[in-house]
Amino acid sequence: MSDPAFERLRPYLEQPQGQTLWVADENLLTTRINPSPLLKAITNRYDLAENLKRQDWSALYSDYDFSVHTDASFDRVIYRISKEKPVVHHLINQAFRALKPGGQLLLAGAKTEGIKTYFSKAKALFGEGDCSKTAGDIWFAQLTKTSTDMSALLDDQNYTRIRAVAADEQFEYFSKPGVFGWDKIDKGSAYLIEHLDQFLMTLIEPPRSALDLGCGYGYLSLNLSHLDIPVTATDNNAAAIKACEYNFNRYPIDAQAVADNCAEQIAKKFDLIVCNPPFHAGFSVDGDLTDRFLKAAHDHLESRGIACFVTNLHIPLERKAARWFKQAEVIAANGHFKLIRLSHGN
């Protein structure tokens, strides 16, 4: 699906003028633009980085870490704004550092996404800028770096710092901005762990390995540690992998975090898979996300294993799962979430 905000920026990528950095996020997974020696890309999405590299782009996968680029090294930074405010503020600040004097930051987004507020704050930092409505609810902003005053940097909630965000009787959880649901324990994930024994009761033998599919900061993985089995946690998001590794290092558990797109690069199969799948991609609801996570679970589940999913009540996951699994059973629901046990039925 075409994104009208990004389409407003596309011409500046197709005909770059000067050294240009494209800040790419999850709204842009299907974008195809010819590479150029003048263009570099940075993204926190593993799948997008790999897609760009296959197109011969110079693309960096990181938690939007601009430190590989020296100060004042770009003539332009192009950015279709993201969903989370701390991420947007962090990237505007980093663009200010990375741009040469007189360099430009080009932004686009919808009014309902906060583009006009972001522009006002960025103009106070950069010194000059214009913002205009283009089509529908989409606005385009062009900012020029005429100031060197760092006092107007936007509040990014100390974006790079991993900090304690929640705790329960078992663990203290550390996370950071940029991770989905970063500052809390997800209620759906907690519901899954609460009923984990009910999931496991159908197994003939105890599980010997586990996969946390879409791990976030690692809540589900940590709460599998009492099973005393190796856990592989995987996520597309660089901030999630960073936080997950931090949590694993704090506790004596046998777990590793792997950056990947729905476990595509993981060859191993597992007796137990746990998953709280996303259904949003950026600002949009993406129904295909559920299918991708179900296929990944199918491909990585041992013949006698089980996959444990939690999802909102309105997501028809058990119906979708019939394509991939012989058995798909709702084992519990609480008015907000439902728990689905999947197996190959052998």
CA angle 36, 16, 146 (to 5 degrees): 130
pLDDT at 287: 54
pLDDT at 288: 76
pLDDT at 180: 92
State the pTM of this model.
Answer: 0.94
Residue 251's φ and ψ, nearest 5 degrees, are -130, 150
Q: Cα–Cα distances in Å, from 7 out to 51, 79, 135?
A: 19, 11, 11
CA torsion 323→294→254→239, rounded to 10°? 170
Half-sphere exposure of 215 (CA within 13 A, CB side): 36
As given in the structure block, the two tokens for residue 134 are 């283009």
Residues of the chain with pLDDT under 50: 280-286
CATH 3.40.50.150 occupies which residues in the chain? 4-152, 163-343
> Do 243 and 176 contact (CB within 8 A), yes or no?
yes
Residue carrying the six token digits 């500046």: 12
Domain 163-343 is in which class? alpha beta
Half-sphere exposure of 44 (CA within 13 A, CB side): 25
> Under CATH, which architecture does the 4-152 domain have?
3-Layer(aba) Sandwich (3.40)
